[in-house]
């Protein structure tokens, strides 16, 4: 048994791990550099579900599996839903899709995460090929645009020590505090900021003309579009000045620039357009296809890896899933009762589902509602392979320990496939299949073979190889008086709803509400009561509640983004009520 495995969590870093004498450490080679993060450092201290239960009563695993089989048998095929989240990023997680798809049940599509931004990338570039950490490391200047590296990608930090840093974020994040320049813009105004940067780059005569001729010949039309923005009025609404634009342009001109975007920019109905406007700025600077330059976002962690599993099925969206149309739902690696938008809708809808099965590690809102609870094995107790959406490493996850608790995804799928007469290969064959997409590179790192380090060197993947610019946009509207932007970024203490969850609403002190006072936050969709913490890192028009905070999604809407079938967690504005 080798002591090497990898962190299973939904995280850009996808760290490789050594498990020795009962402790987890980062591997010394590669970007992990011997360090993990609080989630993995304390991984084995978090209390997990230790036994299956049905209707509140503890039962044996055998009985739980029989019960599951019975539920599936008794449910009409199109009333059986498999809802899968991102609790574990191992590629073997999808083995259960194979069972449910082959059994003619329903799976989900859509995104609670990066879907809107990805749609914008696909429209502009024709494909979503990411800029990996190894290229970010070669840049001179980094723009962290709606991305919080100290919290969500801390292993990037050692790679960018001596670089110029620009941060574009409504919050004065830790990286913003030491950055060369911080643009603390109003939430949901990035589209205008990106378009203005492009317009002024042209005015200053700093375009990469040759590059535009070859790969983005429609630029003049786009420039005309950017002229539709009323500069002064727009900057006033954003809370910025011309000086902010000048400062950013000064730092990026004639440099190798990596624009490192996160999901913060695109949790809006027009998230695709926002991402596309940022891409357009990068195109205007000629950043694609060159070493140490480009745009990093959440890549597709499965890029370059073919699935061996059958996943062909009818699908319903995971953003506004109509649970009430299903007699039974099997929920794996997810906590939809906290993490889906519009929790009140979700609660009302899932109330009508006769059999809710939860297959996971921890107790939460969803396990509490579930009729049948089946504990999973942790990543230390099963074999797997994972890839990353931040870099190109393919990590083999070797089982480290045996445990009496729970069942792995493969074993559960095997039980069901045998029971329903569906073909399933051996676990080893699937693991070998996934490993076959990797190759050892000169630096010794095992990487996904078909992923490029520098993408778009021969132009874009659109029909004619050219970048496709946005053709229209809506004029910036300010939010109603007395309302505030709600932003819901990631917390350092939790991974969405896993581990230590936050319980606060963060406000700027201009509200003159003391720490510890409980206030009611209200949106069009619902309300939540939380204790206040003041933070000078916030703008006075912005209310912050971290993802994973119980009740945060009472406030969010289950509408989809215009493109990308994605959730729009930050579209709703909120008001604050005291003395309720
Ligand atoms: N510790 C920890 N790590 C995580 C996670 C976690 O929950 N905890 N979750 C994982 C997951 S699922 C994901 S998808 C990634 C996401 O990781 P990130 O991409 O870093 O995502 P967020 O923290 O949601 O948002 C990043 C930044 O966007 C800013 N922001 C919010 N609204 C706007 C806006 O309108 N414009 C701009 N310019 N910025 C804005 C926020 O203030 C925040 O600093 O992190 C992963 N890693
Ligand atoms: N308001 C707001 N809501 C958000 C977000 C936001 O920024 N703001 N972020 C969204 C984003 S980006 C994402 S990705 C989603 C994430 O939403 P979810 O995918 O629901 O993620 P988690 O809350 O981390 O819950 C994961 C569950 O997986 C289970 N689990 C962990 N490991 C395993 C395993 O090996 N096997 C099995 N079977 N189960 C396991 C754990 O018990 C845990 O309950 O949330 C979204 N919701
Ligand atoms: S930084 Fe991310 S990948 Fe690394 S140990 Fe922490 S959660 Fe896992
Ligand atoms: Mo995510």
Residue 250: beta bridge partners? none
Q: Give 327-344 pLDDT, tens digit per residue.
A: 999 999 999 999 999 999
Q: State what percent of residues in the chain have pLDDT above 90.
A: 98
176 found inside a domain: yes
User: What is residue 442's predicted lDDT score, i.e. its pLDDT?
Assistant: 85
Among 296, 316, 346, identify where a domain stops.
296
- Average pLDDT score over residue span 76-94: 98
Same domain as 258, residue 120? yes
Same domain as 289, residue 183? yes
For residue 90, what are its two tokens? 């191992």
Q: Give 401-427 pLDDT, tens digit per residue.
A: 999 999 999 999 999 999 999 999 999
Q: Does the Cβ of 9 fall within 6 Å of ligand 3?
A: yes
Q: Which of 302, 331, 293, 14 is nearest to 153 (CA)?
A: 14
Q: Does the Cβ of 486 fall within 6 Å of ligand 1?
A: no
Q: Give 22-34 pLDDT, tens digit per residue.
A: 999 999 888 899 9
Same domain as 130, residue 79? no
Say how many Å lie between the CA of residue 63 and the centre of ligand 3. Answer: 35
pLDDT band at 1 (very low <50, low <70, confident <90, very high): low
Cα–Cα dist 206/215, whole Å: 17
Res. 430: pLDDT tops 70: yes
pLDDT band at 472 (very low <50, low <70, confident <90, very high): very high
DSSP-derived secondary structure for 528-549: EEEEEEE-TTS-TTEEE--TT-
**Ligand 2 atom at minimal distance to the Cα of residue 553:** 1
Q: Which of 8, 13, 35 to mutate to test the pocket of ligand 3 (most atoms within 8 A of CB)?
A: 13
Alpha-carbon distances, residue 216 vs 274, 371, 562 (angstroms): 18, 55, 25
Note the pTM of the prediction, 2 decimals. 0.98
Protein residues with CB under 6 Å of any ligand 2 atom = 8, 10, 85-88, 112-113, 263, 332-335, 339, 359-362, 364, 376, 379, 488, 495-498, 547, 552-553, 556, 569
Number of structural domains (the chain) is 3
CATH number at residue 141: 3.40.228.10
Q: Which domain holds residue 106?
A: 49-111+308-383+404-436
Same domain as 95, residue 121? no
User: What is residue 443's predicted lDDT score, i.e. its pLDDT?
Assistant: 83
Q: Report the 3 state secondary structure along 369-399.
A: HCCEEEEECCHHHCCEEECCCCCCECEEECC
User: What is residue 147's predicted lDDT score, i.e. its pLDDT?
Assistant: 98
Same domain as 166, residue 81? no
Say how many Å lie between the CA of residue 499 and the centre of ligand 3. Answer: 13
Ligand nearest to the CA of 39: 3
SS3 helix, strand, coil % of the chain, rounded to 5? 30, 20, 50
39 found inside a domain: no
Q: Give 353-372 pLDDT, tens digit per residue.
A: 999 999 999 999 999 999 99
Ligand nearest to the CA of 42: 3
Same domain as 201, residue 120? yes
CATH number at residue 557: 2.40.40.20
User: What is residue 565's predicted lDDT score, i.e. its pLDDT?
Assistant: 98
């Amino acid at each position: 048994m080798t002591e090497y495995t990898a962190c299973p969590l939904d995280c850009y870093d996808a760290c490789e791990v050594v498990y020795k004498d009962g402790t987890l450490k980062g591997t010394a080679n590669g970007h992990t550099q011997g360090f993990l993060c609080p989630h993995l450092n304390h991984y084995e201290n978090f209390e997990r579900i230790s036994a299956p239960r049905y209707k509140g009563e503890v039962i044996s695993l055998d009985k739980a599996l029989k019960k599951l089989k019975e539920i599936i048998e008794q449910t009409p095929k199109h009333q059986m839903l498999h809802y899968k989240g991102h609790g574990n990023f191992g590629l073997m997680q999808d083995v259960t899709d194979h069972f449910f798809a082959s059994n003619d049940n329903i799976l989900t599509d859509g995104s609670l995460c990066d879907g809107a931004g990805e749609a914008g990338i696909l429209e502009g570039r024709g494909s979503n090929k990411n800029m990996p950490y190894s290229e970010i490391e070669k840049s001179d200047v980094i723009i962290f645009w709606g991305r919080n590296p100290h919290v969500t990608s801390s292993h990037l930090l050692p790679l960018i020590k001596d670089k110029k840093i620009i941060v574009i974020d409504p919050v004065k994040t830790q990286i913003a505090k030491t950055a060369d320049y911080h643009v603390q813009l109003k939430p949901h105004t990035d589209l205008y900021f990106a378009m203005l940067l492009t317009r002024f780059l042209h005015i200053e005569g700093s375009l990469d003309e040759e590059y535009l001729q070859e790969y983005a010949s429609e630029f003049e039309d786009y420039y005309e579009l950017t002229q539709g923005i009323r500069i002064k009025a727009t900057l006033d609404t954003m809370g910025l000045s011309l000086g902010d634009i000048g400062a950013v342009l000064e730092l990026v001109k004639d440099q190798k620039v990596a624009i490192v975007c996160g999901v913060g920019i695109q949790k809006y109905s027009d998230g695709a357009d926002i991402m596309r406007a940022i891409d357009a700025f990068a195109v205007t600077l000629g950043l694609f296809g060159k070493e140490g330059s480009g745009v990093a976002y959440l890549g597709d962690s499965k890029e370059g890896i073919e699935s061996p599993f059958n996943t062909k099925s009818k699908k319903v969206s995971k953003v506004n899933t109509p649970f009430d149309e299903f007699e039974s739902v099997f929920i794996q690696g997810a906590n939809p009762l906290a993490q889906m938008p519009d929790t009140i809708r979700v609660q009302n809808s899932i109330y009508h589902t006769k059999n809710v099965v939860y297959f996971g590690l921890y107790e939460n809102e969803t396990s509490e509602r579930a009729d049948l609870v089946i504990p999973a094995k942790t990543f230390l107790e099963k074999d797997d392979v994972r890839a990353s959406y931040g870099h190109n490493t393919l990590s083999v996850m070797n089982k480290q320990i045996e445990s009496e608790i729970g069942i792995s995804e493969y074993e559960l799928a095997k039980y069901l496939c045998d029971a329903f007469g569906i073909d399933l290969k051996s676990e080893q064959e699937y693991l070998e299949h996934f490993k076959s997409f990797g190759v050892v590179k000169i630096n010794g790192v095992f990487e996904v073979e078909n992923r490029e380090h520098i993408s778009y060197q021969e132009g874009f993947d659109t029909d004619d190889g050219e970048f496709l610019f946005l053709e229209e946009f809506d004029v910036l509207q300010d939010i109603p008086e007395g309302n505030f932007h709600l932003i819901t970024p990631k917390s350092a203490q939790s991974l969405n709803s896993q581990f230590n969850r936050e319980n606060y609403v963060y406000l700027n002190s201009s509200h003159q509400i003391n720490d510890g006072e409980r206030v009611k936050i209200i949106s069009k969709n619902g309300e939540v009561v939380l204790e206040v913490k003041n933070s000078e890192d916030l703008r006075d028009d912005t209310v912050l509640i971290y993802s994973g905070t119980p009740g945060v999604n009472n406030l969010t809407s289950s509408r989809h983004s215009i493109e990308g079938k994605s959730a729009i967690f930050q579209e709703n504005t909120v008001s604050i009520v005291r003395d309720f």
